[in-house]
Chains A and B, each alone.
Chain A
């Protein structure tokens, strides 16, 4: 079936470095993508989203890139901080208001 998956299950970076977390999706009908951050024992926290008519969107210290040709999504975190340590999930949605399909997650560890 359709799925969203991540290339790397774990990522370890030094504080201050930039982090890149990747995600592949296979549902070409998806028109909306979201990145969530989940800290241990907590619910997913919305980070940034992007619609399929865009290829880049920037937030505060985060940038999401969308490559529809190869069905690839990435999250870039600038100047990574220890507080960024968490599991990051990409999710996709086919139409407005419908279910989200989540990837398996990448554990980001930031070393001081």
Chain B
């Protein structure tokens, strides 16, 4: 059973460009979470999605950031018009739809560098 997959692992964008980060959850998991980690800091929640639904986006900046988890295919985190402050590691986690704990399992992350 493959774990959570994220691609690309590293992404370099110039200021003003768009960044697209992809996340494929573990098999059987229908819940996806996105977190951002700045250097030397803990992870900060951004958004929680189920298939075709955004459940909680309270951690997502109001502008330039969007996320989706379509019926088919991976979850996408999109950052438009990137700025240097967007440089960070972005982690995706997935959890199963049922179970007492619904533990979140993390992918390897995408490291975004904005030049």
Contact = CB atoms under 8 A, between A and B. Distances in A.
A46 B103 CA distance: 8
Contacts of A36: 106
A39 to B, nearest CB: 10
Nearest to A99: B45
Interface stretch (A11-19, A63-71, A73-81, A100-108): A100-108
B14 interface: no
Contacts, number: 57
Interface residues of B, number: 26
Interface of A: 32, 34, 36, 42-46, 49, 51, 89, 91, 96-105
B109 A89 contact: no
Contacts of B91: 43-44
Contacts of A101: 45
B43 A99 contact: no
Among all A-B residue pairs, the 10 with the closest Cβ atoms: A102-B42, A43-B106, A99-B45, A102-B43, A44-B106, A104-B42, A43-B108, A43-B109, A97-B102, A43-B107
A89 B43 contact: yes
Contacts of B31: 97
A96 B101 CA distance: 6
Nearest to B4: A43
B45 A100 contact: yes
B82 to A, nearest CB: 21
Interface in B21-56: 31, 33, 35, 41-45, 48, 56
